[in-house]
Amino acid sequence: MKQELQIFCKNNNIIRKFPIGSTLLDIYRGYNLDIPYGPLCARVNNKTESLNYQAFRSKDVEFINIQDPSGMRTYVRSVCFVLYKAVKDLYPEGTLLFEHAISKGYFCKLHIHQPITEEVIDKLRDRMQEIITADIPYEESECRTKEAVKLFKEHNMPDKVKLLESSGMLYSKFYKLADTIDYYYSCLLPSTGYIKIFDIETYYDGILLRIPQKDSPLELEPMVEQEKMYAVFKEHLKWLDIMGMSNVGDLNNVCLDGKATDIIKVAEALQEKKISRIADHIHDEMANGRQIKMILISGPSSSGKTTFSKRLAVQLMANGIKPFPIELDNYFVNRVDTPKDENGEYDYETITAIDLPYFNQQLQEVLDGQEVEIPRYNFITGKREESGVKIKLQENSILILEGIHALNPDLTPHISDDKKFKIYVSTLTDISLDDHNWISTTDNRLLRRIIRDYNYRGYSAQETISRWPSVEKGERKWIFPFQENADVMFNSSLLYEFAVLRPYVEPVLRTVPNNLPEYSEAHRLLKFIHYFVTIKVNEIPPTSLLREFLGGSSFRY
């Protein structure tokens, strides 16, 4: 008698029996499910797995499509492998580096012995389509890490070698696509035929890989020009090149060699130098007659806006400019008056959560030279209170307004642009796991927020992860559309920070019970952060931007 196991399918809340060893594809077909645009992978006991995963014990299974973040990541990784195979097929001696997300796609550098022309792009696109049409399976293999390292050495892939050698893992997985091997830290599609839409095109000095829209997966994301964002990424990648840090394996080896302190000092110095240059720029603009009255600082959640504004204030004072900081959060309407979203929950991300008439009234009074008492918002009572803090602009004074809506023209519609200096702060993670596994800037900020919420706001990791989709939704609506309006951009990521965050975030992530939906994200983040060798926090200076999240800052918040 054939042994069977029980599968509880979360897509339809039905339990059925299947033969032991059934793949997720077998189970999907056995349920006769018809998921739009899918499935691409599945959550098995709240862990994301490939559809080729075999079940040998009873499981809870939820099939997911490209509209789910895990499904989209699986799709994008699989397309990246197709692009890499196309490069190896057409240009065997060439190299391909996936660097970062930008312009609603993924930027990569292609190094071959000729210019990246439209003809090259057309050949690559055609070869990618041939690979997809052939419906080649993605073959997953697992072996002892030493054997995987040996294999990648034979294929001249030093980035994989350094990552795996320094990871501390006993066993490692790798993937094959016909005769091409590669490494990815999470699952891929069953075969290339699952890829329905993609494109590549020239983008500055590289290639932009374009992907489907989340809400309309049969259409590509529209490309958005992000010239200033690209310039910031390029600047930081140049710094990495100077320091010889192209991937996490390089960073780990430096840490293992006992030289982490040197990396910390350089990273902090580069960031301080950038802040100093921004302050010098503002001073020079004012000295040349520009009547700047306020500095507007915006950026997404956990990008370090608050610490940046405090460090900028110090540099401004060194230039003879007296800053007055104003936090926009203090102008929230009372909680009972906060607008609600489509789910009936308070929407703190919308600009109308700010008392715009009152804020603009006080702002105009300050600019007119009056002394004004700024309010303080009590997050416990949900009410605005008197603060006792009064400000009055003097000669060589300037306001610093910091908040997620600072670059939105609707925040200060009555103030002319020549009186505003606009700064966009974000965590533009520049180091990658290896040549084909970049680190999401969103993951960087989420890890920061999990630690901060746990230490200072009383939120569990499960609560922070649960709220994160609504935070991202607000960012897409209220922050990202205005980022290119900035006069300057500041990258708040630090080369070494994941190595410092790891011992803080791991125990917090492990508190998420595996029977909750948020466990899937907690497990993914734990897998990712495990690649980093840890650095002790006592190496971090008290003025570091990371102190905003870890504690021990010399600034008052």
Domain boundaries, the chain: 4-65, 70-210, 227-550
Tell me the HSE value of 231 on the side-chain side, using a 13 A CA sphere: 10
Confidence class for position 400, pLDDT limits 50, 70, 90: very high
What is the phi/psi pair of residue 163, to 5°? -65, -50
Average pLDDT, the chain: 94
- How many degrees, rounded to 5, is the angle at CA 387 between CA 383 and CA 388? 155
Q: Are strands 397-402 and 180-182 parallel, antiparallel or unpaired?
A: unpaired
Q: What is the mean pLDDT of residues 460-477?
A: 93
CA distance 447 to 441: 10
Confidence class for position 344, pLDDT limits 50, 70, 90: confident
Q: According to the model, what pLDDT value does residue 242 have?
A: 77
Peptide bond between residue 481 and the one before it cis (omega within 30 degrees of 0): no
Least confident of 39-48, 251-260, 276-285, 378-387: 378-387
Non-local (6+) Cβ contacts of 181 within 8 A are 151, 152, 155, 174, 175
CB atoms within 10 A of CB 4: 13
pLDDT at residue 499 is higher than 90: yes
Confidence class for position 246, pLDDT limits 50, 70, 90: confident
Q: What is the mean pLDDT of residues 7-34?
A: 96
What is the phi/psi pair of residue 127, to 5°? -65, -40
Amino acid at 513: P
Tokens of 383: 């009410």
Q: According to the model, what pLDDT value does residue 241 have?
A: 80
Q: According to the model, what pLDDT value does residue 243 have?
A: 79
Q: What is the mean pLDDT of residues 199-206?
A: 95
Q: What is the mean pLDDT of residues 10-23?
A: 96
pLDDT at residue 453 is higher than 90: yes
Partner residues linked to 172 by β-bridges: 143
Q: Which CATH superfamily is domain 70-210 in?
A: Threonyl-trna Synthetase; Chain A, domain 2 (3.30.980.10)
Question: Quick one: what percent of the chain has pLDDT higher than 70?
Answer: 100
Q: According to the model, what pLDDT value does residue 483 have?
A: 93
DSSP 299: -
CA distance 504 to 510: 11
Q: According to the model, what pLDDT value does residue 458 have?
A: 87
Confidence class for position 326, pLDDT limits 50, 70, 90: confident
pLDDT at residue 478 is higher than 70: yes
Q: What is the DSSP string of 101-166?
A: EETTEEEEEEE-SS---HHHHHHHHHHHHHHHHTT-BEEEEEEEHHHHHHHHHHTT-HHHHHHHHH
Tell me the HSE value of 304 on the side-chain side, using a 13 A CA sphere: 33
pLDDT at residue 498 is higher than 60: yes
Partner residues linked to 8 by β-bridges: 15, 60
Question: Which option is the CATH number for 4-65: 2.40.30.10, 3.50.30.50, 1.10.1370.30, 3.10.20.30?
Answer: 3.10.20.30
Q: According to the model, what pLDDT value does residue 394 have?
A: 85
Question: Quick one: what percent of the chain has pLDDT higher than 90?
Answer: 85
DSSP 440: -
Q: According to the model, what pLDDT value does residue 235 have?
A: 86
Q: According to the model, what pLDDT value does residue 145 have?
A: 97
Convert the pLDDT of each residue in 51-75 to its tens digit.
999 999 999 999 999 999 999 999 9
pLDDT at residue 395 is higher than 90: no
Q: According to the model, what pLDDT value does residue 282 have?
A: 97
Cα(first)–Cα(last) distance of the chain, in Å?
Answer: 67
Q: What is the mean pLDDT of residues 1-13?
A: 90
pLDDT at residue 1 is higher than 60: no
Q: What is the mean pLDDT of residues 137-158?
A: 97
User: CATH second-level architecture of 227-550?
Assistant: 3-Layer(aba) Sandwich (3.40)
Q: According to the model, what pLDDT value does residue 240 have?
A: 83
Convert the pLDDT of each residue in 23-56 to its tens digit.
999 999 999 999 999 899 999 999 999 999 999 9
Q: What is the mean pLDDT of residues 302-322?
A: 95
Q: How far is CA 455 from the centre of its chain?
A: 21
pLDDT at residue 464 is higher than 90: yes
CA distance 36 to 251: 42
pLDDT at residue 148 is higher than 90: yes
Q: What is the DSSP string of 42-91?
A: EEETTEEE-TTPEE-S-EEEEEE-TTSHHHHHHHHHHHHHHHHHHHHHH-
Q: What is the mean pLDDT of residues 506-530?
A: 96
Residues in the chain, overall count:
557
pLDDT at residue 245 is higher than 80: yes
CA distance 243 to 247: 11
pLDDT at residue 556 is higher than 60: yes
Q: What is the mean pLDDT of residues 115-144?
A: 97
Confidence class for position 345, pLDDT limits 50, 70, 90: confident
Tokens of 2: 């054939």
Name the nearest CA neighbour of 297 among 280, 279, 283: 279
